[in-house]
Amino acid sequence: MKIMQRWLVAGLLGGVMAVAGAAAAGQAEPPVTGEGRLNSVDAGKRTVNINHGPIAELKWPAMTMDFPVAANVDLKSLQPGKNVRFTLQKDPKVMYQITGITPAP
């Protein structure tokens, strides 16, 4: 998680101008897609732990981390140990949350 935090801080600093521009224009940031292996699902906390590959759009290296999952995403069909493809959307409260997740080949 320390690596993640450094990347988040770097992303925040680097993204301030772009975010301000998008906010001024009334636009949400476009969603970003990632892939990885689903390690676990916490239905109570609505988080998933994923060993994800690099996400170039966010300048994230490959890492294992927890993601919050949007309230409208169905977690019941997800199987830990399987590969997944997921969509991330920036959220003011939790940075990036998963707004879609499906099995990946």
Q: Under the rule (CB under 5 A), what is the footprint of Cu ion? A: 60, 63, 65
Nearer to Cu ion, 52 or 78 (CB): 52
Encode burial over 64-75: b for 16+ CB neighbours within 10 A, e otherwise. Answer: ebebbbeeebee
Least gap, CB of 88 to Cu ion (angstroms): 9
Nearer to Cu ion, 23 or 45 (CB): 45
Measured distance CA(84)–CA(39) in Å, rounded = 10
Which position's Cβ is nearest Cu ion?
65
Least gap, CB of 10 to Cu ion (angstroms): 13
Question: Could you give the maximum distance between any two Cα atoms of the chain, in Å?
Answer: 42
